[in-house]
């Protein structure tokens, strides 16, 4: 008598494996959403409270408007004939055109940057969970998405490096997963974000080439691509599009001997290595921070040295990727130390210490970081200057050539042809808008804006608005 065939029961994943799978799917998306919301809301808060850390948001808003109107990125804020592609090489910013079509405002750029920073957390957090497990991987993801470099970038408002952060995150994640063609494809567009990133791409190509014989051609091609674009952008394209026929930032470089001083440079380096858990220094990926630190630390501009500006944002994915590379993969038990991939995974105490250091550099700086303003109710209270500022903008006729200082520069761009009040303007503005509290006056604003403007441009102006520290004077 024949027996019925035994039914094979489907195997269920172990509870721990199932939990890890759920974490892999959910945690990266949640962290990306939290990061994007936090940074976007911070941008909205700053925009509405008239926080202007520099003139950069106004400049990039004017660039986005130009691209949105299908024009070359001429930015009169820097000069009436200045093409911003002659200032820094960032043609990838043409992607801001659709953003402008949907939301023609400087605030839209802040949300676009927030979204890009948030998205960058997805591949790195997912890789961290795969390699370290749900708990430790989540710790790395949180430390990354709220790292000092990303928070500082959001606090000083929009810069082109926002596009580089997710590209680096996806590229380095693909590299650590062994997907070299994908790593190269994600890295290649970095040369179109900013000219110096060509050197970062070149170093990444060398790392790929040295990682294994089968990747040498691919890595060498990427290294050549990065180096060629750096040379072409810096020495050919930028001078050709620059009104002075030069690369404007050569004069900002000092002696290589200055790279070790002042101590702010050591502090920045220490913080980067701390985010990499210290152990990240064992990974060859840590070499990717060298090009950025080299031009910053040989620079004579103090903002380059510190960790409180936007310059560290592109280094955050590198530091975290180096950490994950050096900690190794729990599934294989192997890790990378410099160019060797046959090293055993570090012992548990070492891994714990590295993760603790990575988290600590974010937690310790947390109270000082601006993103906490998002959860402080008093920070959302409208500034007493909001109404006078709106009145000042309404006092300027639409499409007027407007010379304005930094406070309302970005807000004025959508409806006016904006110049900087203290800039090299060849055209005589129709109106001028001054903020007596703006730092550009050095605490010594003129008594009468109309009289000051008349002396500045040799035309007749009359005051049409004066309220809350804002004054508007127009010709006629």
pLDDT score for 253:
67
Query: E-assigned strands of 4-118?
Result: none
What is residue 342's predicted lDDT score, i.e. its pLDDT?
62
Percent of the residues in the chain that have a pLDDT greater than 70, as a whole number: 91
In this predicted structure, which of 64-78, 203-217, 241-255 has the lowest mean pLDDT? 241-255
CA distance 358 to 346: 16
Taking the C-alpha atoms of residue 40 and residue 112, their distance in angstroms, rounded to an integer, is 8
pLDDT at 255 over 90: no
8, pLDDT greater than 50:
no
Which of the four pLDDT bands, split at 50, 70 and 90, describes residue 7?
A: very low
Quote the pLDDT of residue 444.
86
Query: Which of 199, 221, 183 has the alpha carbon at shortest distance from 321?
Result: 183
Q: What is the pLDDT of residues 376-402, one digit of tens each?
A: 888 888 889 999 999 999 999 998 999
Quote the tokens at residue 406. Answer: 């930094």
If you average pLDDT over every residue of the chain, what do you get?
87
Cis peptide before 432 (omega within 30 of 0): no
Tokens of 16: 């721990």
| DSSP code for 278 | T
Q: What is the mean pLDDT of residues 110-116?
A: 97
> What is the average pLDDT across 150-157?
92
> Which tens digits make up the pLDDT trace of 170-221?
999 999 998 999 999 999 999 999 999 999 999 999 999 988 788 889 999 9
Which positions ≥6 away from 375 have C-beta within 8 Å?
Answer: none
Cα–Cα distance, 157 to 58 (Å, whole number): 10
**Exposure pattern of 384-408 as b/e (b: 16+ CB <10 Å)?**
ebeebbeebbebbeeebbbbbbbbb
Q: Per DSSP, which regions of 78-236 are E strands? A: none
CB 164 within 8 A of CB 180: no
- Report percent pLDDT > 90 for the chain: 57
DSSP state of 85: G
User: What residues contact 122, with CB distance under 8 A and at least 6 apart?
Assistant: 28, 29, 31, 32, 169
- Reply yes or no on whether the pLDDT at 139 is more than 70: yes
d(CA 64, CA 158): 11
- Which pLDDT score is estimated for 6? 46
User: pLDDT band at 439, cuts 50/70/90?
Assistant: confident
Strands 431-435 and 401-404 turn out to be parallel
Contact assessment for residue 227 and residue 198, using Cβ atoms and an 8 Å cutoff: yes
| Separation between Cα atoms, residue 64 and residue 112, nearest integer Å | 12
Structure confidence by residue, pLDDT tens digits, 258-288:
777 788 778 888 889 899 898 888 899 999 9
> What would you measure as the largest C-alpha separation in the chain, in angstroms?
113
Question: Of 327 and 168, which is predicted with more confidence?
Answer: 168
**Contact status, residue 397 vs residue 415, Cβ threshold 8 Å:** no
Which of 341 and 139 is assigned the larger pLDDT?
139
pLDDT of residue 248: 66
β-strand partners of 466: 471
Whether the predicted model's global pTM rises above the 0.85 cut: yes
């Amino acid at each position: 008598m024949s027996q019925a065939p035994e039914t094979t029961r489907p195997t269920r994943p172990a509870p721990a494996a199932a939990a890890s799978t759920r974490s892999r799917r959910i945690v990266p998306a949640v962290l990306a959403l939290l990061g994007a919301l936090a940074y976007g809301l911070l941008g909205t808060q700053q925009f509405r409270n008239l926080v202007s850390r520099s003139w950069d948001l106004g400049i990039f808003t004017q660039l986005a408007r130009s691209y949105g109107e299908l024009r070359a990125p001429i930015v009169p804020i820097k000069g009436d004939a200045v093409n911003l592609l002659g200032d820094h090489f960032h043609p990838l910013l043409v992607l801001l055109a659709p953003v402008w079509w949907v939301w023609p405002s400087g605030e839209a750029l802040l949300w676009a940057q927030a979204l890009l920073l948030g998205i960058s957390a997805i591949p790195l957090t997912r890789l961290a969970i795969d390699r370290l497990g749900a708990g430790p991987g989540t710790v790395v993801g949180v430390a990354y998405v709220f790292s000092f470099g990303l928070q500082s970038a959001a606090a000083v408002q929009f810069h082109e490096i926002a596009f580089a952060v997710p590209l680096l995150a996806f590229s380095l994640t693909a590299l650590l997963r062994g997907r070299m063609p994908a790593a190269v494809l994600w890295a290649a567009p970095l040369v179109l974000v900013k000219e110096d990133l060509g050197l970062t791409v070149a170093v990444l190509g060398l790392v790929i080439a040295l990682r294994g014989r089968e990747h040498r051609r691919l890595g060498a091609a990427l290294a050549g691509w990065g180096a060629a674009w750096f040379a072409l952008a810096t020495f050919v394209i930028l001078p050709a599009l620059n009104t002075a026929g030069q690369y404007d930032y050569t004069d900002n470089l000092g002696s290589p001997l200055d790279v070790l001083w002042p101590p702010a440079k050591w502090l920045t380096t220490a913080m980067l290595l701390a985010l990499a858990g210290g152990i990240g220094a064992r990974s060859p990926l840590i070499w990717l921070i060298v090009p950025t630190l080299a031009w910053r630390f040989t620079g004579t501009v103090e903002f380059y040295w510190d960790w409180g500006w936007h310059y560290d944002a592109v280094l955050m994915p590198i530091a975290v990727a180096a950490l994950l590379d050096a900690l190794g993969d729990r599934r294989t038990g192997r890790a990378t130390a410099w160019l060797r991939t046959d090293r055993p995974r570090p012992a548990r105490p070492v891994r714990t210490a590295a993760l603790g250091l990575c988290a600590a550099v974010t937690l310790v700086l947390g109270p000082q970081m601006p993103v906490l303003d998002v959860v402080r109710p008093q920070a959302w209270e409208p500034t007493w200057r909001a109404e006078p500022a709106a009145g000042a903008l309404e006092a300027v006729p639409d499409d007027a050539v407007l010379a304005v200082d930094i406070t309302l520069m970005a807000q004025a761009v959508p409806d006016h042809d904006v110049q900087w009040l203290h800039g090299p303007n060849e055209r005589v503005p129709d109106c001028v808008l001054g903020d007596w509290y703006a730092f550009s006056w050095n605490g010594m604003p003129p008594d009468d804006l109309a009289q000051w403007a008349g002396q500045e441009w040799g035309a007749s102006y009359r005051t049409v608005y004066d309220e809350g520290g804002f004054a508007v004077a127009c010709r006629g």
